[in-house]
């Protein structure tokens, strides 16, 4: 039976993170070395689907935090929110982010976008979105321990951050201003 996230040590978490990063890097390397051009439209479709799933989760999770703030710690409602937040993060948001990154890096490599200024700006916004993802992941852990220190108002503001980043990313990808 897997170790619960609350019982994991910092060392175990670090090891899991290293394994996840290594697996992601290996997948990118395989795609770069082996991916034929015929895969491009299929992988581009997969990338768009993964982005939609990632964004859906990133927009819903802070909304759950708003409602969770209003629940009494230890209550049945609070425990239900903990399950919802953990499942959303583990089953949708995390896998969607990994697929978005792996496939997105392959697409950018194949298309030669790494020298384009618009792409570098987009990449910076995607790094920021990934940072927000990490912030939300830490919040899921804090809520799971009944140690959230942020207000519902904070989470209402944070609910808008992924939207602002998404708008910037979409504009850069579609308009390619530079």
Determine, yes or no, domain membership for 96: yes
**Is a pLDDT exceeding 80 seen at residue 53?**
yes
Q: How far apart are CA 137 and CA 163, in angstroms?
A: 17
Question: In terms of pTM, does the model score above 0.85?
Answer: no
**Is a pLDDT exceeding 90 seen at residue 65?**
yes
Determine, yes or no, domain membership for 3: no
H or E segment and range at residue 25? helix 10-34
∠ CA 124-65-123 to the nearest 5 degrees? 10
Determine, yes or no, domain membership for 108: yes
Give the domain range for residue 84.
Answer: 10-175
* Number of domains comprising the chain: 1
165, 130 in Cβ contact below 8 A?
Answer: no
**Residue 121: helix, strand or coil by DSSP?**
helix
Determine, yes or no, domain membership for 138: yes
**Is a pLDDT exceeding 80 seen at residue 28?**
no
Determine, yes or no, domain membership for 28: yes
Determine, yes or no, domain membership for 2: no
- Residue 70 CB contacts under 8 Å (≥ 6 apart), including other chains: 152
């Amino acid at each position: 039976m897997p170790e619960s996230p609350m019982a994991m040590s910092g060392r175990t978490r670090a090891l899991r993170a290293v394994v996840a990063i290594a697996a992601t890097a290996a997948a990118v390397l395989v795609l770069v070395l082996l991916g034929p051009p015929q895969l491009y439209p299929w992988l581009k479709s997969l990338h768009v689907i993964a982005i939609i799933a990632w964004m859906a989760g990133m927009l819903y999770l802070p909304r759950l935090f708003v409602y969770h703030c209003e629940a009494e710690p230890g209550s049945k409602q609070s425990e239900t929110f903990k399950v919802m937040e953990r499942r959303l993060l583990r089953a949708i948001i995390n896998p969607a982010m990994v697929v978005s990154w792996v496939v997105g890096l392959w697409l950018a490599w194949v298309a030669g976008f790494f020298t384009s200024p618009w792409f570098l700006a987009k990449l910076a916004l995607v790094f920021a979105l990934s940072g927000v993802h990490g912030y939300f992941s830490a919040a899921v852990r804090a809520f799971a321990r009944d140690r959230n220190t942020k207000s519902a108002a904070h989470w209402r503001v944070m609910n808008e951050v992924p939207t602002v980043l998404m708008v910037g990313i979409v504009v850069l990808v579609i308009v390619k201003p530079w």
